[in-house]
Amino acid sequence: MDDCARTEGRVDMPKGKGIDPFVSEFDMGLAQPLSRSVRLNGFATCLRLEQVYWDILADMARINSCSISALLSHVDREVHLRHGGVKNFSGLVRVVCVVHSLKEAR
């Protein structure tokens, strides 16, 4: 909170920076975690992600003409082949979604 002011336990955003994550159309439902059963390379597992990430994954799957399970299976295979695996697959999926969103925004 370098540039943020603290007022009676509340943090006020810095003046003039224009950063407010709670825009008027912000949907708190996107922050709700949701567990879904998926098949990763033939193995059934449960993945818990916030709704916003499931929406991004659905968009990525649509772009690639595949299911979300097929997309996640590809991510799982590639991380094993390229990096020997990952300890936090959910975290990896979130990062993949953010990177995709950033690329789409450009």
Q: pLDDT at position 35, please?
A: 96
Q: Give the domain CATH number at 32.
A: 1.10.3990.20
Looking at the domain assignment, is residue 42 inside a domain? yes
- Nearest CA among 86, 77, 83 for reference residue 39: 77
* Helix (H) or strand (E) segment spanning residue 61: helix 51-63
Domains contained in the chain, number: 1
Range of the domain at 92: 27-105
Kindly state whether residue 4 falls inside one of the protein's structural domains: no
Q: Does residue 39 belong to any structural domain of this protein?
A: yes
Taking residues 5-13, report their average pLDDT. 59
Asked whether residue 95 is domain-assigned, the answer is yes
Residue 46 lies in a domain: yes
- pLDDT winner (highest mean) among 13-17, 18-22, 51-55: 51-55
- Percent of the chain residues past pLDDT 70, beyond the cut: 80
**pLDDT at residue 10 tops 70:** no
Task: Reply yes or no on whether the pLDDT at 67 is more than 90.
Answer: yes
Neighbours of 57 (CB within 10 A): 24
Give me the half-sphere count of Cα atoms (radius 13 Å) on the Cβ side of residue 1.
9
Does 73 reside within a domain?
yes
Q: Are 79 and 92 contacting, i.e. CB atoms less than 8 angstroms apart?
A: yes
Rounded mean pLDDT of 74-81?
96
